[in-house]
């Protein structure tokens, strides 16, 4: 098990501050979804949690230790990251791509072992890609390709999984496919999942914990039913909407009105 938390983190690009003394602790063993309008800092937060950005002040704690003081390879054995829009190298096969996930577990003198092979096979099986393992990644559909990238992070075998907009550019069927895969990984393997999503209704369906970010700070956090209220959505997104309860799944369902139809 592993926890990741941000403590008073400020970070930005060049001179522009994006996160402003933000503190958040992501619950262990749950699916957390970061939501917020464009430019609010949710992707920046995810990158900072994954130690891709160094905070100007404050720190990110991985299991209680400052992440920037840990060796980067040791971090990679506990925390996996799927960046936004990853692009596979030309001509690489699914198996080769998934095998890259074993890199943090290898050392210079101790290279490919049986355990690496087993982890790759398991990752392929979990993501339903065993039959496609020798195919070129560039011949796969968008949804399959995203599953291959997730398989890479599964092979990395970390208790923590961070994903930056894993469903963008996918049609609804493939978005569901990816989110169901992540839910399975969370339920069956106890992985802590933290991701950025844009679709509020899918976030409400799949998240255990929602973190709403506004102007570089945590505006509200909690279970989807607590966070998704018409007032909050208006505060965070500046969007007029009505929230009803999904008749099939009993999760909050957001019906956007926009400026033309004030709620």
Partner 1 sequence: MSTRIRLFLLVATLLIAALSSLMVGAHWIGPATALKGLIAPAPEAVDQLIVRSSRLPRTVIAMVVGASLAVAGALMQTLTRNPLASPGLLGINAGATFAVVLLVAWAGSASLAAWSLGAFLGAALAAMLVWWVAMRGGASSHGPLRLVLAGAALSALFTAFSQALLVIDQQGLDTVLFWLAGAVDGRAPSELAPLMAVALAAGLGCIPLTRAMNVLAAGESMARGLGIKVHRLQALMVGLVVALSGASVAMAGNITFVGLIVPHMARRLLPADHRIFLPGCALLGATLLIVADVIGRSVAQPREIPVGVMTALIGAPMFIALLNRQRSAHG
Q: Which is nearer to partner 1, 2 or 225 (CB)?
A: 2
Binding region for partner 1 (CB under 8 A): 47, 50-52, 71-77, 79-83, 86-93, 96-97, 100-101, 103-104, 106, 108, 111, 152, 156
Contact 161, 80 (CB under 8 A): yes
Helix (H), strand (E) at residue 101: none
- Least Å from the CB of residue 102 to partner 1: 9
Q: Which is nearer to partner 1, 14 or 173 (CB)?
A: 14
Q: Which is nearer to partner 1, 66 or 92 (CB)?
A: 92
- Least Å from the CB of residue 8 to partner 1: 23
Contact 172, 142 (CB under 8 A): no
What SS3 state is found at 175? Answer: helix
By residue count, the chain amounts to 263
Contact 126, 154 (CB under 8 A): yes
Burial class (CB in 10 A: 0-12, 13-18, 19+), 38: exposed
Q: Which is nearer to partner 1, 106 or 189 (CB)?
A: 106
The first and second tokens of residue 188, run together, are: 């069956």
- Least Å from the CB of residue 199 to partner 1: 23
Contact 79, 5 (CB under 8 A): no
- Least Å from the CB of residue 97 to partner 1: 7
Q: Which is nearer to partner 1, 163 or 254 (CB)?
A: 163
- Least Å from the CB of residue 70 to partner 1: 10
């Amino acid at each position: 098990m592993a926890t990741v938390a941000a403590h008073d983190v400020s970070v930005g690009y060049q001179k522009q501050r994006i996160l402003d003394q933000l503190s958040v602790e992501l619950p262990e063993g749950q699916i957390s979804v970061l939501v917020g309008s464009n430019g609010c800092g949710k992707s920046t937060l995810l990158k900072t949690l994954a130690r891709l950005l160094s905070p100007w002040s404050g720190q990110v704690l991985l299991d209680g230790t400052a992440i920037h003081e840990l060796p980067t390879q040791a971090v990679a054995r506990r925390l996996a990251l799927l960046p936004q829009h990853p692009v596979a190298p030309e001509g690489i096969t699914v198996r080769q791509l998934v095998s890259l996930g074993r890199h943090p577990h290898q050392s210079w003198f101790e290279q490919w072992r049986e355990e690496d092979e087993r982890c790759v096979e398991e990752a392929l099986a979990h993501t339903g890609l065993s039959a496609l393992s020798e195919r070129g990644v560039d011949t796969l559909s968008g949804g399959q390709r995203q599953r291959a990238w997730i398989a890479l992070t599964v092979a990395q075998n970390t208790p923590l999984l961070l994903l930056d907009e894993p469903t963008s550019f996918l049609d609804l069927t493939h978005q569901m496919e990816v989110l169901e895969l992540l839910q399975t990984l969370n339920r069956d393997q106890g992985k802590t999942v933290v991701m950025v999503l844009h679709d509020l209704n899918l976030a409400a369906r799949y998240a255990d914990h929602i973190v709403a970010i506004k102007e570089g700070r945590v505006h509200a956090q909690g279970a989807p039913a607590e966070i998704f209220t018409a007032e909050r959505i208006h505060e965070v997104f500046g969007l007029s909407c009505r929230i009803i309860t999904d008749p099939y799944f009993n999760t909050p369902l957001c019906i956007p009105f926009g400026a033309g139809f004030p709620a």
